[in-house]
Amino acid sequence: MGWLFLKVLFVGVTFLGCLYPLVDFCCSGDTRGQKPNFVIILADDMGWGDLGANWAETKDTANLDEMAAEGMRFVDFHAAASTCSPSRASLLTGRLGLRNGVTHNFAVTSVGGLPLNETTLAEVLRQAGYVTGMIGKWHLGHHGSYHPNFRGFDYYFGIPYSHDMGCTDTPGYNHPPCPACPRGDGDGPSSRGNECCLWFPHRTHERDCYTDVALPLYENLNIVEQPVNLSGLAQKYAEKATQFIQHASASGRPFLLYVALAHMHVPLSGTRLSADRRGRRPYGAALREMDRLVGQIKDKVDRTARENTFLWFTGDNGPWAQKCELAGSVGPFTGSWQTHQGGSAAKQTTWEGGHRVPALAYWPGTVPINVTSTALLSVLDIFPTVVALAGASLPQDRHFDGLDASSVLFGWSQTGHRVLFHPNSGAAGEYGALQTVRLEQHKAFYVTGGAKACDGKVGPPRLHEPPLIFNLEEDVAEAQPLEEGSAEYGRVLPEVRQVLAEVLVDIAGDKTSRADYTRDPSVTPCCDPHRKACRCHTT
């Protein structure tokens, strides 16, 4: 790791003695007013209906609702995949998993990550003169050159994967709960970590729990806390984000800040949460905590670079199914045909609840205020849109699945995609396979089922040939597919087959990548292997 540290150290020097870790904010000349800044905030497992502006029953997102009123709200916006790593890889590359190689989640012991021959948004913007920062959950590889500091980000502060992939002393709320980290001799008795047990004392540990290795918190290449204190993580993210915005704005350099939140993924932080057995009160409190964090970032943008900063908020995928005690709200997407067949209607699946996510755009003076867009858009569009707005160029040696949505953002058009492809993200079928096709208002499923529900049960896989087809304009809940013998079905089916065949031919001829999913326990992040759970605190 020595050469890796030197590589970051060479890039990162302090700015005017401010000691902001390892970031070079210096620049010749003042570029403000020439290139816009970008703040991309990605929520984790947030349901479409968790945004109050989308669903009137939600009362916990005052700051986000204000942002919607002051900007643009998208009601037909989709994650690029229905689980963590593939969705994040697509955000940073503008490409589906069959192209960028990331088709399912990376593990604590994963040797690889987002393939190194894939170009990230941060790399493109850094080449264009931007200072780049990433705060929060990475989940695209933490070992060696897969670390965010070597994928285009000058500064990184966050956790390497989901916060349920390591034990903590404050496990927070989950159903069923996981235990706190073990403490070895000399560590002292644990006086924390019992919140979960007080909440569901009758439950046993029916899910996979990580008890051997604690969840680490990184600042650049260094683990600064292991296990991380989840109760204070949101505030730390807010502080680091506002510091980054302040330093970058003062330097005169344009900046990209990518903030990948822990909210609303379980376990929910124990900060100011009170529980009842239905689980809605802690979920609402966590939603409010996330909303406050976003509000702090927006306030900092407004105070420092309001007229020249584009803030984009969205989610990586939908929440777990509604039968889960801590599930978020997918709004109207609760009556799917698959649910009626005994399956799951949300995360990992390609039903609307799994990938239709909240999305907001905020840029005073540029994005029109209080506008609702019905354009069919995707997380895939963030890469080409930001690159275009920055005046940079897309890599020319590969194809992209996203589009430049600038005309929609500026209020000039309501035209987005005609076609979107929803890959398998852990349900039935092969990882990454394009088994669901969105064609204008129609949606076709070739495979359904196979997703694991919160109770641990897996719905039976179902193959559909010819495919199930729904008309989302008339049936957004996907409750009843079109009759196969109907005129509408007969008209749509050939078009679905044609666009699916065309994209598969295009992918076959493209420059594609293959992620390394091999595992090796030696790559597990551990700041002190001589202590139980790798405990250390350097902050």
- Distance between CA atoms of residues 257 and 253, nearest Å: 13
Q: Is-catalytic flag, 139?
A: yes
Residue written as token pair 């012991």 = 109
Sign of CA dihedral 429, 430, 432, 434: negative
CB 123 within 8 A of CB 151: yes
Active-site hit among 18, 27, 104, 139? 139
CB 219 within 8 A of CB 5: no
- Distance between CA atoms of residues 121 and 382, nearest Å: 9
Tokens of 389: 């707005």
Beta strands at 222-226 and 536-537: parallel, antiparallel or unpaired: antiparallel
- Distance between CA atoms of residues 80 and 401, nearest Å: 10
Q: Which of 447, 474, 266, 419 is nearest to 350 (CA)?
A: 447
Query: What are the two backbone dihedrals, phi and then psi, of residue 352, each rounded to the nearest 5 degrees?
Result: -55, -35
**Could you tell me where the beta strands, DSSP code E, fall in 220-291?**
222-226, 255-260
Q: Which of 531, 348, 323 is nearest to 436 (CA)?
A: 348
Residue written as token pair 């994928």 = 151
Identify the three-state secondary structure at position 45. Answer: coil
What angle do the packed helices 280-304 and 62-69 form, to 10 degrees? 50
Residue written as token pair 């250390």 = 536
Residue written as token pair 């309501």 = 414
Q: Which of 349, 309, 332 is nearest to 474 (CA)?
A: 332
Q: CA Rg, the chain, in Å?
A: 22
Identify the three-state secondary structure at position 346. Answer: coil
Active-site hit among 26, 27, 78, 84? 84
- Distance between CA atoms of residues 206 and 223, nearest Å: 30
- Distance between CA atoms of residues 234 and 534, nearest Å: 23
- Distance between CA atoms of residues 379 and 207, nearest Å: 30
- Distance between CA atoms of residues 323 and 311, nearest Å: 33
- Distance between CA atoms of residues 76 and 514, nearest Å: 30
Tokens of 140: 């695209």
Q: Is-catalytic flag, 84?
A: yes
Beta strands at 155-158 and 419-423: parallel, antiparallel or unpaired: unpaired
DSSP 94: S
- Active site positions, annotated: 84, 139
